[in-house]
Structure 1
Amino acid sequence: MKRSQFIRKSLLATGTIAGGALTAMAGNSRQDGKPFNLNYGPHQGLFEHHAGKNIIDEIQFAYDRGFRSIEDNGFSGRPVAEQERIGATLAKLGMAMGVFVLDKGGNGANTLAAGKPEHVDIFLKGCRQAVELAKRSGGKFTTVVPGDFERRLPMDIQTANVIEALRRGAEILEPHGIVMVLEPLSDTPDLFLRTASQTYLICKGVNSPSCKILYDVYHMQRNEGDLLANIDRCWDEIAYFQVGDNPGRKEPTTGEINYRNLFRHIYDKGYRGVVGMEHGKSTAGREGEEKLIAAYREVDDFLG
């Protein structure tokens, strides 16, 4: 038998074993640039091994792999020229800016729960800054964390202080169509805002289209669980989602949260906003970045 015929027959034989995997790989390559059904928003660093450390290059890479938004918690700390380049790149590609963090002087002791005028003044300054940041980025969502408990005050007084401060912030943001999204967190038990239902109550008290809930699935799994039911209970005040699996805060499919069911749930309820990818990677390097993208394809493809 000629060597070429032997190689051909060998390849055909092994194809009966590996053909399924090869077909799957070919299918994945064809899916690489297809937009996802939900609008997932990566942050800088998730694709740096493919695109490098320049955020503009990462935005282009994300677009080429099917993502149609980003989020940038640290946007306010970037030079104005870089902010404008990011906004122009997103506009050119037809991508959305997700959340950037409103500067209120830190998430800890500088708390709106205390009712201190100096804390509120810093927050209101951040709201005015957010108007300018939104103009440069095209974004409409800014994350607010009220800060720590003020344990010398009764809980209801703290809640009233937070509502009053947020009402004043909403007066600044509302004319510009900007939404501050309140994020309950699990990082430390000292933080005032902990659950979706508590955040729902505050949003009802503020009573403004510019004050809604940022439902971070990772934090809410840790703090309260019962995810789908709690999403339904708070649905009319939820304006934004972030994700990360638990434990570990890595990409979907790496932990205990059934993201396929969760994404189906919010998709069927009509959510088409940004889903912020506020998590790390379970595997380092280029391999980890490919694994992350494959995980999102796995939990998203069945939505279409």
Structure 2
Amino acid sequence: MDHPRDLPLAQARELVRRAVDKAEQLGLRGGVAVVGASGALVTASRLDAGGAGGMARARSKAWISATQQIPSAEHLRRMTTLPAPIAAGFVAASPEAVFPGAGGMPVRVDGIVVAGIAASGATVSPFLPEGVAPEVVSADGEPANPEDLLIAYALGTRYEGQHGDDRARWADRFGDLVVPPEEALGMRDAPRASAQHELAWATALCDAAIAAASAAGLRIGVAVVDAGGDPIREDRMDDAAAGGVDVARATAAAAARFAVASGDLVEAYGTGASSLSTLAPTPILAAPGGVPLVADGRVVGGIGIGGASPEACAAIAAEVAR
């Protein structure tokens, strides 16, 4: 019997890379996430200065598109027309759908939805950035918005606005200006992103963790977070435990926010360790797997590993963080 699989990590990473390239070209800062059809995150990246919270919003919209198998804009339309108790019940039964914003799109392979992709963050939005050239936010000579541009570009599909009236936003900014199709740059090839230094640092750490796990015959999820516990980069190896990346995120956040290895929280805080999660805006886990990341004598983030035994995960995290 054939069982379904999520979009492979390598393919998901390529989608995110293309979105990051287009975001840098457009001057956008935020996060991009790919969630598998299983509902488990496959990969996510936050551009430098992308702002806290964007990754969680992107993950939620991608989850909606992956699991409901429709653009999140259609899901939003349905949610706003359903009776309130039904809409509230859906969110209660589907906590990953807590942010039902537009912009998430299903990813299909051979006609089957295998993932969803979405973006959100500090300046990733349907609104036109200050000073943007009209050619940049035009797709084939038609008005476009930055958020939907970078997702369409990532997928290599024809641009379709997901956030309402692109033409009205265009008119507010550019009046009756018309961009000839041959001058429109919105869907033209973007150069490789070169100014995402924090993301490149986090990606190198995730790559090292995946290489170490592969060498040990393990399948893992890995997360690198900033000092506040917000994710910068997350990856889940093919066929790794679905919950591994959630463990990785929570142990990384624990290490970053409290500046100790996540497995040492109980020793450091005693019986109070169980209450630490009430102090943090992001989930934390007091279990082995996460260690702080230190640069120039200060904690700048944390790395967490999940999906294998806690001891093995902690060993990989410590090795990579050295």
Is the TM-score greater than 0.5?
no
Largest Rg, 1 or 2: 1
The structure richer in helix per residue is 1
Q: TM-score range by the shorter chain?
A: under 0.3
Q: Which has the higher strand share?
A: 2
